[in-house]
């Protein structure tokens, strides 16, 4: 954090300043990793640190960031090891794609866009993070992922951003779910740009109706149907068994170091399976190997990683002197948090938990304790973040799909959060 203070000292100073004791080191780490401090905390933090409030606020003139954190097992949930924005495994085997993206960025044409598509877990986000890092650090570009929550579609703001003489690489993750923002920014860039290189990199699992609608829009039609648009169908990280084994070994080494476990696993089996075209599945297999667990198939890997999360929840319940019989409630709450893309604030968390049939007639102190546990387990800029990586969150939702009554209630509760 600021001024070289340790997070432990800062947490202590905040509590001395009268801030709720739940402002823990974990909370401060969340502020630091997301680059955003909630409004109520800005003045307090600024006073404690003796810095201008503006230093703690996101830069409205640069609503993007490179999402890359360092893995810290003291506060991150187990699945964080597998997240693209944590990058526990070193970036590898994508030299060709990085070279191609660098060449695309340096093309003389001013405004260009690229659609990068591929199945979940293949490595789109990690590739985009790496090219942002490269262009920012090695080429002095403005580069990062658009922060949708900090982004304001203001004409004057984006006029200044697009007219800035320094080149810009703007990544838009989940572009298929943000097509209205994609279209607005494209239109403004097309209308205003002419002084510098602007690159839009759109990430999505596939081009579907959303993409056809964009290509048929009045102001972007000519641009998206011409030479300014490129498409990258991201291939598997490794095709041959030998290269997959090499990628597996790189991941296993990283996980062994992160978990302080000796590397005792032998050569992996079954890496010829189609699912191992996705980097995330290779990483999951490597993690299981480090922990001495033998698994087969995509479902087996996903269930193993979910099992690690549930064990983590169980440990947190025990620490809070709560019965492990409450474990299903945590799972149900995380289904809702994942479907909603996160829980906005503490009050929303309490409202959702109190409406879960499983927790009917439970004491308020139990509801409050569960709400705090999940906020601590999955901190984000709001209250409770979703289960990540996406494939894992989707698997969690699938495991609850057979409970028709809960599924119906879950979607109703998600609508309340929208």
Q: pLDDT tens-digit profile of 309-332?
A: 999 999 999 999 999 999 999 999
Greatest mean pLDDT among 57-66, 93-102, 353-362 lies in 93-102
HSE-up of residue 162 (Cα within 13 Å, Cβ side): 23
Calculate the CA dihedral of residues 72, 85, 33, 305 and round it to 10 degrees: -40
What integer is the mean pLDDT of 208-222? 90
What integer is the mean pLDDT of 164-186? 95
* Secondary structure class of 115 (helix, strand, coil): strand
Q: Where are the alpha helices (DSSP H) in 216-240?
A: 221-224
Q: Which pLDDT band, with edges at 50, 70 and 90, does 45 fall under? A: confident
Residues 6 or more apart whose CB falls under 8 angstroms from that of 268 comprise 245, 248, 285, 286, 289
Q: pLDDT tens-digit profile of 224-262?
A: 999 999 999 999 999 999 999 999 999 999 999 999 998
Q: pLDDT tens-digit profile of 119-144?
A: 999 999 999 999 999 999 999 999 99
Q: Which pLDDT band, with edges at 50, 70 and 90, does 193 fall under? A: low
Q: Which pLDDT band, with edges at 50, 70 and 90, does 12 fall under? A: confident
Asked if pLDDT for residue 35 goes beyond 70, the answer is no
Residues 6 or more apart whose CB falls under 8 angstroms from that of 159 comprise 188, 192
DSSP state letter for 6: -
* Secondary structure class of 331 (helix, strand, coil): helix
pTM: 0.88
Calculate the CA dihedral of residues 280, 281, 283, 288 and round it to 10 degrees: 140
* Secondary structure class of 263 (helix, strand, coil): coil
Q: Which pLDDT band, with edges at 50, 70 and 90, does 28 fall under? A: low
HSE-up of residue 307 (Cα within 13 Å, Cβ side): 12
| pLDDT mean across residues, the chain | 89
What integer is the mean pLDDT of 349-376? 94
Asked if pLDDT for residue 80 goes beyond 50, the answer is yes
In this structure, what token pair is assigned to residue 286?
Answer: 């490597």
- Position 254 scores a pLDDT of 96
């Amino acid at each position: 954090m600021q001024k070289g203070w340790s997070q432990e000292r800062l947490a202590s100073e905040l509590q001395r300043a009268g801030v709720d004791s739940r402002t823990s080191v974990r909370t401060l780490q969340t502020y630091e990793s997301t680059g955003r401090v909630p409004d109520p905390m800005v003045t307090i933090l600024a006073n404690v640190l003796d810095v201008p409030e503006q230093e703690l606020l996101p830069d409205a003139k640069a609503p993007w960031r490179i999402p890359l954190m360092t893995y810290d097992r003291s506060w991150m949930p187990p699945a964080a090891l597998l997240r693209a924005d944590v990058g526990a495994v070193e970036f590898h085997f994508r030299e060709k794609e990085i070279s191609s993206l660098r060449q695309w960025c340096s093309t003389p044409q001013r405004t260009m866009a690229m659609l990068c598509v591929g199945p979940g877990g293949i490595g789109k986000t990690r590739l985009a993070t790496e090219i942002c890092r490269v262009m920012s650090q090695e080429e002095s570009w403005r580069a990062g992922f658009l922060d949708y929550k900090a982004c304001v579609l203001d004409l004057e703001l984006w006029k200044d951003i697009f007219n800035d003489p320094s080149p810009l690489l703007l990544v838009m993750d989940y572009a298929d779910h943000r097509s209205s923002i994609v279209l607005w920014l494209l239109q403004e860039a097309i209308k205003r740009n002419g002084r510098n290189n602007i690159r839009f990199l759109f990430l999505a699992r596939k081009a579907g109706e959303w993409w056809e609608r964009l290509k048929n829009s009045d102001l972007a039609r000519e641009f998206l149907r011409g030479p300014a648009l490129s498409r990258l169908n991201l291939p598997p990280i490794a095709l041959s068994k030998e290269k997959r084994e090499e990628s597996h070994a790189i991941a296993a080494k990283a996980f062994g170091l992160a978990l302080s476990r000796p590397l005792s696993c032998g050569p992996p089996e079954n890496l010829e399976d189609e699912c191992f075209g996705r980097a995330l599945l290779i990483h999951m297999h490597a993690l299981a190997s480090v922990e001495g667990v033998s698994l087969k198939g995509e479902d087996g890997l996903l269930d193993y990683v979910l099992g690690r999360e549930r064990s983590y929840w169980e440990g947190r319940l025990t620490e809070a002197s709560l019965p492990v019989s409450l474990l299903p409630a945590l799972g149900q709450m995380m289904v809702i948090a994942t479907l909603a893309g996160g829980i906005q604030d503490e009050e929303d968390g309490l409202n959702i938990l109190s409406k879960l049939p499983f927790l009917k007639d439970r004491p308020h102190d139990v509801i409050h304790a569960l709400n705090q546990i999940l906020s601590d387990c999955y901190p984000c800029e709001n209250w409770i973040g979703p289960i990540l990586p996406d494939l894992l969150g989707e698997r969690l939702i699938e495991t609850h799909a057979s409970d028709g009554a809960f599924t119906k209630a879950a979607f109703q509760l998600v609508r309340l959060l929208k």
